[in-house]
Amino acid sequence: MSTLPEGLHLSKTRNAVWWALFLFPALFMQRFFPGVDFLLAGFLLTLQERRYADMVWVLPLLVIFQEGMGTREFGVVLLWYMAVAAVFLLGRWLFDVENFLYAFLFSATLAACYFAVAFLMSPLYAVPVNVHRLLDESVHLALFLPVCWKLAQYTRRWIYAGNAE
């Protein structure tokens, strides 16, 4: 279920600090790597840890950041995150999400989803599709996401305090 041992409890202060320390570098990195959604690692952690209370404020915040940065056309970000959640929940039902191989398979699937969503939505916005650029962004997403996700997962262990009794 969760990525952490049983018996550990959440430190709310550490949780808030972790999100602040996660968001600033993720936003900074996203500016330099188009197509790679560094914020997605945080969303995946809320899904992986089943921390739906965090998702209530994290998801709208991530959507606002994505819309504000203009990384995707208006409204496509919400469709993107819904597709990510659907693929993740299906994958969690079929596989062990702790496995690093799953992270790579999941990232490849999301890269295909990224390509499909961008390709299908661009005519609605009368935006010409640069297939080569879109393919490059999809490959970057497939390569960077597993590393970002696992790195965020390991740093997230810091927010849990207590002893397994």
* pTM exceeding the 0.85 threshold for the entire prediction: no
In the chain, where the domains are located: 9-157
Contact call for residues 62 and 81 (beta carbons, < 8 A): yes
CA–CA distances in Å: residue 89 to residues 17, 47, 61: 27, 8, 21
CA–CA distances in Å: residue 34 to residues 69, 89, 136: 11, 26, 9
pLDDT tens digits along 99-149: 778 888 888 999 998 888 888 888 877 778 888 988 888 898 899 888 888
Distance between CA atoms of residues 157 and 134, nearest Å: 34
pLDDT tens digits along 55-104: 899 899 888 888 877 667 677 888 888 999 999 988 888 877 777 788 88
pLDDT tens digits along 31-40: 887 767 889 9
CA 102 to chain centre: 15
